[in-house]
């Protein structure tokens, strides 16, 4: 335990780690979270040309939007959808931004574009919601099911894959239960998914020198003569690295959830994810989606930690270890778009390369004759890669410490 305390203390005493954690907190929590709630995303709109043009009144503006949306809560029927569209058009007719900003117009417009594409008129404004005839918006549930079938066909899903997702979709409770979508869209489709890359950068800064730092600090000879076995010391370093990963994840998660509760509150947690993405097939609500995304972030962080430790054990330079560690995430991201679909899906299994928002999609893997929905592998494979890397990291470093 004393060795663990000393190794953990060694991590946090490095200036690069302290500066990195501070920058991570500022970027993710202050700018990406606090300012997004209060200013960039939820501040009342004053200038559409830039998010910086929003007013610094997010807290009160969120409360106004939530209060407005309460009149539409409940079963999302044709009649309710028509009423919501009609209300938006009446408010938009005043040309007063504050009037129609209260409406859930982004979600409404997305639903209409997806389910009633034949009503789009090329010579009309971009926002289809502003000119469509509300009385023609009928058969919402039937159109959603038909649109999902067409999407699966266009996406190249096989008959068995299509059947899999249609069976999944059959478990979605209908009619959909509408709640204010904007807040939960920000959380599940934007914020949490973007934390992965940032977390990868600062985990690499903290963990990459874990083993190779002994050569960098010229302490290799001292370790070789210690009364503790080299493998024991390596095991302690592994535990300290994972503890650091858990602490950094905890700082991000606890701060984010706290601000979420302060600004958004618990309202709408039972809204189905179909209100976020109309063609999602999973029978989940947005709270389940958020929990999954944080679990994905945690397991990816732990898996990535194991891989970075292996990189550190195989090199003798802090900088080389850091570059390789970052390359494991950013090189696949850069080349993925140039690869066929099977190659992209394979790279997505690397920690932080995939995306937790796959819960809204219909991606599937074929493994030993089994069809597996991508979110299941995206939380199991990264941590598995990290666990597999650990014994090799311990072995190689303990072996090289003898030299």
- Asked whether 218 and 305 are in contact (CB, 8 A), the reply is no
Please report the pLDDT score of residue 225 as a whole number: 47
Give Dmax (Cα) for the chain.
83
292-340 residue pLDDT tens? 999 999 999 999 999 999 999 999 889 999 999 999 999 999 999 999 9
Residue 227 pLDDT > 80, yes or no? no
Please report the pLDDT score of residue 221 as a whole number: 47
Q: Is the pLDDT higher at 108 or at 213?
A: 108
Q: How many residues does the chain have?
A: 403
198: buried, middle or exposed (CB in 10 Å: 19+, 13-18, 0-12)? Answer: middle
Helix (H, G, I), strand (E, B) or coil at 268: coil
Distance separating alpha carbons of residues 176 and 38, to the nearest angstrom: 30
Q: Would you tell me the crossing angle of helices 2-13 and 230-263 to the nearest 10 degrees?
A: 60
36-48 residue pLDDT tens? 999 999 999 876 6
Please report the pLDDT score of residue 255 as a whole number: 97
Residue 66 pLDDT > 70, yes or no? yes
Residue 394 pLDDT > 50, yes or no? yes
Q: How confident is the model at residue 67 (pLDDT cuts 50, 70, 90)?
A: very high
Question: Up-side HSE of residue 145: CA atoms within 13 Å toward CB?
Answer: 15
Per the structure block, which two tokens stand in for 14?
A: 């490095």
- Give the range among 87-96, 248-257, 287-296, 377-386 with minimum mean pLDDT: 87-96
Residue 226 is classified by DSSP as -
Helix (H) or strand (E) holding 371: strand 370-373
382: buried, middle or exposed (CB in 10 Å: 19+, 13-18, 0-12)? Answer: buried
Distance separating alpha carbons of residues 8 and 10, to the nearest angstrom: 5
Q: Is the pLDDT higher at 216 or at 215?
A: 215
Tokens 């903290």 found at: 206
């Amino acid at each position: 335990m004393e060795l663990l305390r000393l190794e953990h203390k060694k991590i946090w005493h490095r200036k690069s780690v302290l500066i990195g954690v501070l920058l991570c907190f500022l970027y993710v929590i202050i700018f990406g979270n606090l300012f997004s709630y209060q200013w960039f995303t939820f501040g009342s709109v004053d200038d559409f040309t830039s998010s910086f043009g929003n007013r610094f009144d997010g807290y009160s503006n969120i409360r106004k939007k939530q209060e407005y949306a309460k009149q539409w809560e409940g079963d999302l029927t044709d009649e309710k959808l028509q009423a919501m569209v009609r209300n938006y058009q009446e408010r938009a007719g005043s040309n007063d931004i504050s009037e129609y900003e209260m409406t859930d117009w982004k979600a409404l417009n997305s639903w209409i574009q997806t389910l009633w594409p034949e009503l789009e008129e090329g010579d009309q404004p971009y926002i289809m919601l502003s000119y469509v005839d509300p009385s023609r918006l009928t058969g919402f549930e039937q159109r959603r099911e038909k649109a999902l079938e067409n999407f699966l066909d266009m996406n190249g899903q096989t008959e068995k894959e299509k059947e899999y997702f249609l069976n999944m979709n059959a478990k979605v409770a209908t009619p959909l239960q509408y709640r204010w979508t904007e807040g939960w869209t920000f959380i599940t489709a934007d914020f949490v998914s973007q934390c992965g890359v940032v977390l990868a950068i600062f985990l690499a800064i903290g963990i990459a020198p874990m083993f190779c730092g002994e050569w960098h600090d010229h302490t290799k000879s001292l370790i070789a003569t210690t009364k503790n076995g080299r493998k024991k010391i390596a095991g302690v370093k592994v535990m300290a690295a994972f503890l650091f990963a858990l602490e950094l994840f905890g700082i991000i998660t606890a701060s984010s959830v706290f601000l979420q509760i302060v600004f958004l509150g618990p309202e709408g947690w039972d809204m189905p994810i179909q209100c976020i993405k109309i063609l999602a097939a999973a029978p989940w609500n947005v709270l389940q989606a958020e929990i999954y995304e944080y679990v994905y972030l945690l397991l990816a962080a732990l898996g990535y930690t194991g891989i970075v430790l292996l990189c550190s054990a195989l090199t003798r330079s802090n900088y080389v270890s850091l570059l390789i560690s970052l390359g494991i995430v950013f090189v696949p991201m850069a080349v993925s778009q140039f690869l066929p679909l099977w190659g992209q899906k394979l790279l997505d299994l690397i920690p932080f390369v995939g995306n937790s928002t796959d819960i809204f999609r219909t991606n599937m893997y074929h493994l030993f004759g089994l069809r597996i929905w991508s979110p299941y592998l995206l939380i199991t494979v990264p941590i598995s890669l990290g666990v597999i890397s650990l014994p090799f990291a311990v072995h190689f470093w303990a072996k090289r410490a003898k030299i």
